[in-house]
Structure 1
């Protein structure tokens, strides 16, 4: 079994596992991105759609992985293996949208919100007494990046005149370039760009609008502060692992090392960080029982602001980021003009890094 198959199998298993467990770790009042009153969280249709969703995801995952492996065996094209992971992700979201549509239809037909007292809870303390940004968690990423720069500067005179700037799935270099500052330090630019981008997102999390439960406002505000801190720390930990992967890849390039395990140098640290972040956030997401007396209020029926249960679009909301309804972490408010500027900046940064990487 080749390294490409192993990596694709691990990634497929990770995507499949996340897809199967998400319905259990998300808030029960937003099954598949649909806002429902607490008394309908266990409605038979919600339970039914959850079961159907899991069977669809499992069957689709097996088919996508099997088809990718067979096509790889026939053609030998390693690109088909990561494409099978993308196909699995597509199956996952397709199954989600089907469940979202069915639950929304049942909710509308049953009048689930009729006669209920809807409300909004706001934590004003997030402005007057905000939680502190975990600056120390940014230190590992900065240290790894600085270490990469120092090693690169010291090693530059002794580097090979031709550097391997890209490796194939088998670990063999498939693109080389003449040594130059731009070529040798291309991955350092990636480190700096990724660190700045993800650290900025982590900082934006602390200015996101919390989705508090009006039935338990005090307890849910306390939980959200904890979840927000964990999310920022998980993101900064991921940054450090990405930078560590770039350091390992730079060392391979600078020393001219050829090894079939080269892809693991980059992938394993990042994959490990993703797994840890998912486990930590998922565990925290399940601890929503705040032990507080119910106020008698229920969440607003705000499905109109969520396109397909995934994309938040509300021009009246000035928040740039809000908690995801399905999945872990946060998403952009696409109704905020700043989101377009943010996305344009991300695209520009990616384009710059790719240009530096390819152009040398």
Structure 2
């Protein structure tokens, strides 16, 4: 009970911290997903909406926590605790859309792009001299998965004939299954699936993403993009390794028949720690630095028409699969690209595998 509350509170606190700090670490020329000229980045309308957004998010976090604690006190159901995180995310995006709408209105009313020289900058070196994909960062995930297979093969004959294939929130087995190769190595299949998916996303970031080069500072912007792209790929591969480590721990519990109230920590802690580290690394490097480069006098094109609500990018004329997020960390799909459906299908298939293996009958 206490463990479930602690884990849910830690996750909610992480989400709340991310929501509050994003306006400060995102590019000042796309506040709340709205493209604005650099000279309007500190416009009073933007400053006001940033302040209101933070108060709304903070209030929403208090409300979400209060609602779920009341529901938990009335029902005693620990599965309701993660609901606070879902509520907070919903409130968070509601606050975002309100700010997005107000800034778009202020930009239109003020004619912020009138008379400005708009331009596009590209990094042609991405084709002639692309950065190297960090394949060595795949080694930890591969080693952990291989170790899981080897350990499982060695101890398979001595495993209990009935395996605990799922643990409840209190750490007690709540679903059992007869020992078979498929049952015993179900989490190995999950390791392989997660690793393949995250490697695929990292490769898509490297080879299928479009950089958002600032035409005012093209050299520094291109340099930042290469560094951020490499950090993003390394973060995804590191996350795969930690997820695989969590699956190894869960497999050992299943294979040994161990019953402990700390079972949820075996899975949650490595993943939560990896997510926290990933967020910190990307957040520290999420804003490009001009490094003293002289301003060219150009500004980004006004391209809000391709962004639905500042979050969803839909441009059928753009062949890029991924583009940098306007609000948040990392990249988002170009939903106008047919390949986006294939990637989403892979994610849905993996989620279906997780549900089948861990929650199915």
Range class of TM-score, shorter chain: over 0.9
- Are the structure 2 counterparts of residues 143 and 203 from structure 1 closer, same or farther at C-alpha, using a change threshold of 3 Å? same
Could you tell me how far 1:359 is from its partner in structure 2?
A: 6.3
Once the two structures are TM-superposed, the CA of residue 347 in structure 1 deviates from its matched residue by 1.6
Residues 271 and 356 of structure 1: CA distance in aligned 2, closer, same or farther (over 3 Å)? closer
Structure 2 gaps, min length 5: none
3-state SS, counterpart of residue 175 of structure 2: strand
Match in the other structure for 1:144: 144
Q: How many Å apart are 1:106 and its aligned residue?
A: 0.6
- Which residue number corresponds to residue 240 of structure 1? 241
* Mapped partners of 1:234, 1:346: distance in 2: 18
**Which runs of 5 or more structure 1 residues have no equivalent in the other structure?**
none
TM-score (norm 2): 0.98
* Aligned position for 2:259: 258
Q: How many pairs are equivalent?
A: 360
Per-residue CA deviation, residues 43-76 of structure 1 (Å, 9 max, x unaligned), is 0010000000000000000110121112111101
Give the aligned partner of residue 80 of structure 1.
Answer: 80
Shift of 1:358: 5.4
Q: Does residue 340 of structure 2 align to residue 311 of structure 1?
A: no
Residue 158 (structure 2) aligns with? 158
Contact 1:322–1:331 (Cα < 8 Å) also in 2: yes
What is the alpha-carbon root mean square deviation over aligned residues? 1.2
Equivalence for 1:52: 52
CA distance in 2, matches of 1:125, 1:80: 51
CA distance in 2, matches of 1:34, 1:297: 18
Which deviates further from its counterpart, 335-344 or 51-60? 335-344
* Alpha carbons 2:45, 2:106 under 8 Å: kept: yes
Distance of 2:289 and 2:307 partners within structure 1:
22
CA contact (8 A) 1:57 1:92 kept: yes
Deviations 1:287-323 (A, max 9, x none): 5233210000000000000000000000000000011
For residues 261 and 48 of structure 1, the distance between their equivalents in structure 2, rounded to whole angstroms, comes to 45
Q: CA deviation at 1:93?
A: 0.7
Pair 1:90 & 2:94 matched: no
TM-score w.r.t. length of structure 1: 0.98
Instruction: Give the superposition deviation at 1:355.
Output: 3.3
- Please state if 1:205 is matched with 2:205: yes
Choose 1-10 or 52-61, whichever is displaced more: 1-10
Counterpart of 1:39 in structure 2 is 39
The within-5 A match list for 1:65-214 is: 65-207=65-207, 208-214=209-215
Q: Distance in 1 between matches of 2:357 and 2:274?
A: 26
| 1:17 to 1:358, Cα distance in 2 relative to 1, 3 A | closer
8 Å contact 2:190–2:353 — kept in the other structure?
no
Q: Runs of 4 or more off by more than 6 Å in structure 1?
A: none
CA apart distance, 1:159: 0.6
SS of residue matched to 1:258 = coil
Distance 2:75 2:101 in 1: 38
Confirm or deny: 8 A CA contact 2:307 2:314 kept in the other structure: yes
- Check the 8 A contact 1:182/1:356 in 2, yes or no: no
